[in-house]
Amino acid sequence: MKITVVGAGVSGLTTGIRLLEEGWNVKIMTENMSPNTVSDTAAAWWYPFLAEPIEKTNRWSSETFNELLRLKNIEGVDCITLRKGREYLEEKCGRPGWSFEIPYFRILEKEEVIEGYTFGWEMEAPVIEMNLYMPWLLSKFEDLGGVFELKKFNSIEEVPGKFIVNCTGIGARIMSEDETVIPVRGQVIYIEQDPGFGRFDQQPETLTYTIPRRDVTVLGGTAQKGDWDPNIRENDTEYILSKCEALWPELDRTKIVGQAVGLRPSRYEVRLEKENIDSRTIIHNYGHGGAGVTLSWGCADEVVRLLKNQ
């Protein structure tokens, strides 16, 4: 079977790899490739943030968690590390569904919760260094026999082939005329300082994170709905730093080494479904919001299942 995947972000590459592993013939056609995709700016901490529907995203996340561990432990992909992180909340709440699927998760003791919050938990999860992981995905795809072509489409009808997988992220607004996909702008700061463990406030209104990678810690964030600005904004830099300093007072501003902006492809729910147009089969795999890396392998496996059940 010959399959055309449109898009070379984390969704397109991961899907392409899974399809090749099934023995299918795969070509990725895309406007941009790494390092010029949204996926390259992902922080990237495993966490199902801003992604619905929960019953599906919980399953796709936990499948991805296990695959990331397998890649790290069995295939030796060393840009995936396991780190501890503490999430702080203003109000007590029940354990999130995904927390039952991961090996290490505990509720914080009262004295471990920092000022301004009343509740929290600690978890251990993969941190993915996208600056290394995206090139690794690209070469894995090519090693398995996949090919790329740079091409921008104006609609799904223009894409050649009988079997097509649409992994265009925010581009699905044009490709599928889907105006329910909207940008949620994220700005991040890179700092050469390790906080020991990650610190998080994952509420979209107050979003704050410090994600420790081996080279830098990624500080965030912003979640600005409907904002298409790709430029770094000084006021956002200050806003992020002041929020991070509240969670991590030792933060040293002199160690900042860079910044980036990306537009999360947000949708009321991930669109992962089959559509038949004339005699062609299209599988849509977009709208992963703030969790495209976290959902990637689970969604790729779902694409394979949908294509097998023709």
Min dist. Cβ of residue 188 to ligand FAD (A): 5
Total residues in contact with ligand FAD, by rule CB under 6 A? 43
73 Cβ contact partners less than 8 Å away, ≥ 6 residues apart = none
Which span (10-18, 227-235, 251-259, 302-310) binds ligand FAD, by CB under 6 A? Answer: 10-18
Among 210, 286, 302, 307, binds ligand FAD (CB under 6 A): 286
Question: Which of 47-84 are b and which e, b meaning 16 or more Cβ less than 10 Å from the residue's Cβ?
Answer: bbbbbbeeebbbbbbbbbbebbbebbeeeebebbeebe
Min dist. Cβ of residue 51 to ligand FAD (A): 8
Which span (82-90, 100-108, 137-145, 285-293) binds ligand FAD, by CB under 6 A? Answer: 285-293
Among 41, 193, 202, 208, binds ligand FAD (CB under 6 A): 41
- Draw the binding track, 176-205, toward ligand FAD (x: CB under 6 A; -: no contact): ----------x-x-----------------
Helices (H), the chain: 10-21, 54-73, 130-143, 172-175, 234-247, 292-308
Which span (33-41, 68-76, 87-95, 242-250) binds ligand FAD, by CB under 6 A? Answer: 33-41
Rank residues 88 and 286 by Cβ distance to ligand FAD and give the closer one: 286
* Burial classification of residue 305, based on how many CB atoms lie within 10 Å of its CB (0-12 exposed, 13-18 middle, 19 or more buried): exposed
55 Cβ contact partners less than 8 Å away, ≥ 6 residues apart = 97
